Amino acid sequence: MTHAFSPESARPPAPSPWTLMIPGICGIALAALLMQFRDTITVANTIVRDIADIARFVLLLAGIAGAGLAIVRQPRSPFLIGLSAIAALLCSYAVEPGWDAIRMPFRVLAVVAAMGAVLVALPTRFQRAALSVAIVFHFGGILTAITTVPPPTGGGAPWLPSQLWARVYRPYLQFMYLSNAYHFYSPDPGPATVIWARIEYSDDSYRWVIVPNREEHMKDPFALTYYRRLCMAESTNQLVPVNAITPVMAQQRAEAGRRIGIPEPLDIERIIPTAPQHRVPTDYSAMMISSYARFLFRAYPHENPAVPVRAVKVYRVVHLMVSPEQLVHGTEPTDHSLYLPYFQGEFNRDGKLTNPNDPFLYWLLPILRFPKAVPTASEQFEFINYAEIHGNRKQIRSSE
Amino acid sequence: MSTVAASPSGGWNRFWFTPADPSTLGLIRILTGLAVLFIHIGYSFDLQAFFGKDAWLNLDLANEYRRELPIVPPPTEWEHRLPSAAGEDPQKAAQVTQHVQRWGVHPDLAHSHGTPSWSIWYHVTDPTAMAWLHGAILVVMALYTVGFCTRVTSVLAWLAAMQYVHRGLTTLFGMDQMMILLLMYLMLAPSGAAFSVDRWLLRRGWSWGWLFGQQASALPDQPEPSVAANVALRLMQVHMCFIYMAAGLSKLLGSSWWNGTALWWAVANYDFTPLRYGWYADSVRWLSKHRLFWELFMSGGVVFTLVFQISFPFLVWNPKRRWILVAGSVLLHTMISVIMGLLGFGLCMIALALSFVPPEVVRDWAAGLLEPRKKPAVVPPTAEPALMQAA
């Protein structure tokens, strides 16, 4: 077997790593200097500042390329790696202070490179020892992430991994995005959560938006545009475990329901006893719902641009899975009664609840199946969608 | 084995630091690169919706979350120490109230605030600039997949992928975790030393070989074994054992995994599965009408999943049984891909499982694929004299 490449001597010599590193680090240093004097330049002239910004950007990119290629050229030189640590640190000063999400990784890189320089300078035996410590630390973190999940039966997460997670490993695992616990489909595969939103316009028209729905959101071959929205909807489903319904809350909900024809929680509970009637989202989910409402407010304008969006009502909808018995007896997986909508609030343009005391807030507004008064061969039942009835109502305040 | 027993440190050193042929890494790089490329092409349709200023998770909230989220560890004693009283200072009292209202926890209970999230998308929010940057990232990922300047593009591909996962917090799932850990481990090793454009160019005397971190002057027929390749492969293998062990043991907490119905709740989930398609719905309906088959299928699936995931970390290290475990992993993730529609996740898990495939097997596969067995040339008898004459 022969190769077609020519002898090394016939080629142009590869550049010395120092001819890449030195100009590279100088370029980055110059960019950092330009950043330090940016305010002074701004005062002098904004055009000069813009030119200086472009120069800073070019110097930074060129400097990173030079320093990076020097390391690629000679990856085992402790001096070069040490210089690359300085280059990374300078990079963090060459970007605007407001760009903290870019400054931070540069500083982390500087620390890693400094440690790398020491590591490379060590004899093989110590290199292996240091790498072994790093490997043990790394998998200790993975184990911590796996074990900090509280068991579903209660009792909280184990104490030691939780302490290690919060005090030692969290920065590392989150920075590297290695924080998954890998508890796939456990403890049990659960139903999907979707979002229903009623976009209301100032001319009293409205539209319902379902997130995700395959027709609108399946855009790529992997259907990731759809699945990512499914994950997003799931982020509204983190719920406060203890959920006490006070008599006042129940009374307000019952009275408000009577006004628009929605059954009382106790009546709903008799029909679907397994579904919780009232579920409060955690602070995290509440924040996400607020952000999604804000997005929906902007993403679904009226056909007439002169008609603004007035409000967005959001429902977290648990789509129960059909059981084999139900399937055999003719219930379809999309049967309306398998959807459990929980009202999450009405939101304004900024994603703020228009009425934090809404009597329906976080209550189940189900779709119930009733026998038809005049059944036909094909349709023996009719559905009443109380979420839709609720959505169509005008604002009800608890004081009403 | 005797050496291992005699000297644990010797066994450890041999396990982690024996030079390994990077051919397996080359194959994993191609699969990972394809997954990474398709995953990020998917973002092209949603760049603004997921990463823009007014994205689903809007920039203000994302920034607030990464900078101010309180991290509250469990108490070091049996109970949380009481937060210090705000005292007479009304300003501090107001701050405490605001913090409690926003985050649901007293600020004094927080060990630290914020998460180490880093992404260019926290700062580049102009739609045109985002589109250009995203386009450049896709080019880098394509170059990485084909193995061009892999020493550089492997680092860039990891850096690029991190920008998306750190900004799109609420859109992520297991696939993204697998993708990141594959990119991370591949970045540590010469994953472009086999089955790559780099190697192809080096073999043809391309003079910029130093860009790949390789010595073109010493190119054997097979890629040069390296300690880094072995470390990367071992990291993948051990990590995969952790994944399966966690996935398997955590299922034992679920009642549906004990009563054998868990698989049903996975295959009958309308929002994930192809239940909307006639062929799939008919199969599921037929199965439901035949209780015995239903029970056999569901219980069989549950037993296979549990036994496979829990036993994998113990059995996979035996070379004789390894192919069964790798084949089982490929089967499991192909099924998940088809049934749950999670193609990207399946591809990443299969790539991870391939870390257990010996490099010589990979090279045999590649040889079979790239150089199909040549059929013996059949020369018609009548043409033979003419050929002889020409010779």
Q: What is the pLDDT of residues A78-103, one digit of tens each?
A: 999 999 999 999 999 999 999 999 99
B381 pLDDT tier (thresholds 50, 70, 90): very low
More confident residue, A84 or A73: A84
pLDDT of residue B228: 95
pLDDT of residue B389: 42
Rounded CA-CA distance B352/A335 in Å is 39
Please give the residue of chain B at the shortest CA–CA distance from A228.
Answer: B171
Rounded CA-CA distance A379/A370 in Å is 11
Average pLDDT over residues A304-330: 96
Rounded CA-CA distance A178/B139 in Å is 25
Burial class, A348, CB count within 10 angstroms (exposed 0-12 / middle 13-18 / buried 19+): middle
Residue B244 pLDDT greater than 90, yes or no: yes
Closest partner residue to A139 (CB to CB) among B184, B238, B266 is B238
Closest CA to A90 of A35, A42, A50: A35
pLDDT of residue A4: 44
Over pLDDT 90: what percentage of chain B?
A: 69
pLDDT of residue A204: 92
Question: Mind listing the pLDDT tens digit for each residue in B163-191?
Answer: 999 999 999 999 999 999 999 999 999 99
pLDDT of residue B218: 52
Tracing tokens 């049996």 back to the chain, one arrives at B78
Rounded CA-CA distance B130/A282 in Å is 32
Over pLDDT 90: what percentage of chain A?
A: 78
Closest CA to A104 of A53, A24, A175: A175
Distance to chain A for B34, nearest Cα, Å:
12
pLDDT of residue A378: 74
E-strand ranges in chain B read 70-71, 112-113
Q: Quick check: helix, strand or coil at residue A382?
A: strand
Q: What is the mean pLDDT of chain B?
A: 88
pLDDT of residue B387: 38
Can the peptide bond before residue A158 be classed as cis, meaning omega within 30 degrees of 0?
A: no
B215 pLDDT tier (thresholds 50, 70, 90): low
Please give the residue of chain B at the shortest CA–CA distance from A166.
Answer: B73
Burial class, B159, CB count within 10 angstroms (exposed 0-12 / middle 13-18 / buried 19+): middle
A15 pLDDT tier (thresholds 50, 70, 90): confident
Rounded CA-CA distance B70/A67 in Å is 37
Closest partner residue to A319 (CB to CB) among B119, B176, B271 is B271
More confident residue, B12 or B9: B12
Distance to chain B for A252, nearest Cα, Å:
24
B386 pLDDT tier (thresholds 50, 70, 90): very low
- DSSP summary character for residue B20: B
Rounded CA-CA distance A101/B63 in Å is 9
Cα B112 to chain center, whole Å?
30
Residue A223 pLDDT greater than 50, yes or no: yes
Are A307 and B267 in contact by the 8 Å Cβ rule? The answer is: no
Question: Mind listing the pLDDT tens digit for each residue in A239-250?
Answer: 988 677 889 999
pLDDT of residue B68: 93
Residue B313 pLDDT greater than 90, yes or no: yes
Residue A350 pLDDT greater than 60, yes or no: yes
Please give the residue of chain B at the shortest CA–CA distance from A100.
Answer: B118
pLDDT of residue A113: 97
Distance to chain A for B313, nearest Cα, Å:
14
Closest partner residue to A14 (CB to CB) among B177, B184, B210 is B210
pLDDT of residue A12: 58
B97 pLDDT tier (thresholds 50, 70, 90): confident
Helix (H) or strand (E) holding A200: strand A192-201
What is the phi/psi pair of residue B107, to 5°?
Answer: -60, -30
Report the range of poorest mean pLDDT among A212-221, B22-31, B77-86, B361-370: B77-86
Rounded CA-CA distance A92/A99 in Å is 9
Are B114 and A104 in contact by the 8 Å Cβ rule? The answer is: no
Contacts made by residues A125-134, CB under 8 angstroms, sequence distance 24+: A128/B13, A128/B16, A128/B17, A131/B16, A131/B17, A131/B231, A132/B12, A132/B16
Tracing tokens 């024996």 back to the chain, one arrives at B18
User: Between chains, do A163 and B73 touch, taking CB under 8 Å as contact?
Assistant: yes
Mutation to test the B interface, candidates A180, A194, A335, most B Cβ within 10 Å: A180
Closest CA to B211 of B147, B160, B135: B147
- DSSP summary character for residue B122: G
Q: What tokens appear for B125 in the block? A: 């929010």
Rounded CA-CA distance A314/A352 in Å is 12
Are B98 and B108 in contact by the 8 Å Cβ rule? The answer is: no
Report the range of poorest mean pLDDT among A149-153, A177-181, B139-143: A149-153
Average pLDDT over residues B122-142: 97
More confident residue, B363 or A4: B363
Q: What tokens appear for A146 in the block? A: 């796996």
Can the peptide bond before residue A356 be classed as cis, meaning omega within 30 degrees of 0?
A: no
Closest partner residue to A189 (CB to CB) among B115, B172, B262 is B262
Please give the residue of chain B at the shortest CA–CA distance from A351.
Answer: B58
Helix (H) or strand (E) holding A346: strand A339-347
A315: β partners: A196, A343
Q: What is the mean pLDDT of chain A?
A: 90
What is the phi/psi pair of residue A74, to 5°?
Answer: -140, 80
Residue A373 pLDDT greater than 90, yes or no: no
Average pLDDT over residues B255-264: 95
- The CA angle A26-A30-A35, to the nearest 5 degrees, is 150
User: Between chains, do A1 and B221 touch, taking CB under 8 Å as contact?
Assistant: yes
Neighbours of A208 (CB within 10 A): 13
User: Between chains, do A214 and B276 touch, taking CB under 8 Å as contact?
Assistant: yes
If you average pLDDT over each of A300-314, A362-376, B359-373, which comes out highest? Answer: A300-314
B82 pLDDT tier (thresholds 50, 70, 90): low
Cα B348 to chain center, whole Å?
4
Q: Quick check: helix, strand or coil at residue B118?
A: coil
**CA R_g for chain A:** 30
Please give the residue of chain B at the shortest CA–CA distance from A183.
Answer: B247
Are B312 and B244 in contact by the 8 Å Cβ rule? The answer is: yes
Helix (H) or strand (E) holding A192: strand A192-201
